[in-house]
Structure 1
Amino acid sequence: MRRAGGSACQRYFQANGFILMRCPRAVQRPRASLCVGDAMSEQEKRRALRKRVLKGATIAFNNRSSTLSCMVRDISETGARLRVPKGQAVPSRFDLLIEVDGLEAPCAVAWRRGEEMGVTFEAPPTRGKPARIQAVTAIARNAPPSLRRKA
């Protein structure tokens, strides 16, 4: 039987100054110092900080005789999130090759959701000489960006 005041979590949040809404996330009042939106957000669950990227990569398997192209969406020291076109069957273990960085890592699939998959690196990634160079040229002169109007 439920108590009249809601669940134990709801009573805790209300007692500590949080406002509960219909949304499953709790919204905090400005005076509170703890964010409760997700009690344990995805960043806190991860062992290593992930960096958002958008890089083309290659999935190599069968002793690198078979390859698939993919996009790296984010990467860390321990794994990455990849986007693979629909309909491509990806094995559970493979080598990930990122030409722009010269990175090679043996991977194991941790999860799959639609076109995306999370992989963990089975060994620390090795960085070799990049196969190609990513060249970015500046359009403007080397002045720091400013919001001031030009006179």
Structure 2
Amino acid sequence: MRSIDRILSKPKAASAGAHDKASEKRFAPRRSGMTPAVVYLEDGPGSFPCLIRDMSTTGARLELRQGWDRDFSAGVSNDDRIRLVVRLDRVMYECKIVRCGAKELGVKFTAAPKPLARAQREA
């Protein structure tokens, strides 16, 4: 089973907190996880590691740290386009940034996930 499938298929905890109740109202419920991935900037050669903290069928919350010891700063902003590569699952997501923070990005998937081999051939 792919790690993304494990994240999306995790059962909810019996005791739901305020955060869980708010997320239940989402169009696509999110599931928590800590899946390593790499973000590739669409308008440049840069890339950086991240952790997928939670994910749904429509988007994800990414934890970012530059060198993992200080806040992230790559000059990205809302509406920028990125590619999120999950090597463990050999899949790539095309995304639009919808929220930027010092340590997190919120992204919306703009296309269905592609197998990494096919995405590399198309690039």
Question: Which of structures 1 and 2 has the larger relative contact order (alpha carbons within 8 angstroms, sep 6+)?
Answer: 2
Higher helix share: 2
**CA separation of 1:108 and 1:101: change in aligned 2, threshold 3 A:** same
Q: Which of 62, 68, 73 in structure 2 is aligned with 1:88?
A: 73
Q: Deviations over 1:94-119 (max 9, x none)?
A: 10001111120111111123301211
Unaligned runs of 5+ in 2: 1-16, 66-70, 118-123
1:66-121 per-position Cα deviation (integer Å, ceiling 9, x unaligned): 21111110111110000111132153211000111112011111112330121100
Pair 96,42 (structure 1): closer, same or farther in 2 beyond 3 Å: same
- Shift in alpha-carbon separation, 1:90–1:75, aligned structure 2, 3 A: farther
Tell me the secondary structure at the aligned position of residue 68 of structure 1: strand
Q: Distance in 1 between matches of 2:55 and 2:75?
A: 19
Larger of the two Rg values belongs to structure: 1
TM (normalized to structure 2)? 0.63
Cα 1:127–1:93 change in 2 (3 A) is same
Q: After TM superposition, list the pairs within 5 Å mapping 1:11-90 onto structure 2.
A: 41-62=21-42, 65-85=45-65, 86-89=71-74
CA distance in 1, matches of 2:100, 2:43: 23
**Counterpart for residue 121 of structure 1:** 109
Amino acid at match of 2:113: P
Which structure 1 segments of 5+ residues have no match? 1-36, 130-151
Q: Is the 8 A contact 2:64 2:103 kept in 1?
A: yes
CA distance in 2, matches of 1:128, 1:87: 26
- How many residues align structurally? 92
